[in-house]
Amino acid sequence: MGSTKGFSLIELLIVVAIILIIAAIAIPNLLQARMAANEASAVGSIKALQSAEAIYFNTYPTVGYAGSIANLGGAGPCTPSSTTACLIDNLLATSITGTNGKSGYIFAVTGVMSGGATYNDVYINAGVPVLMNKTGNHDYCSTNDGVLRSQMGSVGDAPVTTQAACVAFAVAQ
């Protein structure tokens, strides 16, 4: 009688069990890495918004800082104006509440006239995860002082829109 070739049922079950154990270890690490990448992207987006605000303020001094995130972007081909300054990518400019966001985060820009000013002399840039504990864990913001701040987020957070709320965040490290 010749020998049979192939694997026994037990050998196949052992291989499947090993693959499942490896997947159980690897998948949570993959999700953590993805969340960390989304948070790094959110920090980069806030910094891009800071730079865009500085350019916008110098380009449109009668307006001051941008009143909304849409004022900093613009769909291509973009013609610069105070309502669509073409300073940030349109993907970031349209990553607002009610969308899937950019890299798992939604953003808001708020321009504020403080102390009787006739132009927006304060801005607040903020970003929050679309899905808490899935696309990110931290809320981020900055104001015209240029300091990046963050705090642990909560389910249902919206981007902050006041300077006092942003300044209450801890300085990001």
pLDDT single digits (tens) 49-94: 999 999 999 999 999 999 999 999 988 888 999 999 999 999 999 9
Residue 164 binned pLDDT confidence (cut-offs 50, 70, 90): very high
Of the listed ranges 28-37, 44-53, 60-69, the least confidently predicted one is 28-37
Cα separation of 69 and 75, whole Å?
A: 13
Mean pLDDT within 135-142: 95
Q: How far apart are CA 84 and CA 40, in angstroms?
A: 26
Q: Which two tokens stand for residue 123?
A: 């801005």
What's the mean pLDDT in 112-130?
93
The answer to whether 56 touches 66, Cβ cutoff 8 Å, is: yes
Residue 173's pLDDT is what?
74
pLDDT of residue 142: 96
Paired tokens of 47:
């910094």
Q: What is the CA radius of gyration of the chain?
A: 23
Mean pLDDT of 37-51: 95
Query: What is the pTM (predicted TM-score) of this model?
Result: 0.83
pLDDT mean across residues, the chain: 92
DSSP assignment of 10-63, as one string? HHHHHHHHHHHHHHHHHHHHHHHHHHHHHHHHHHHHHHHHHHHHHHHHHH-TTT
Residue 1 has pLDDT above 60, yes or no: no
Q: Among positive and negative, which fits the CA dihedral 70, 73, 75, 78?
A: positive
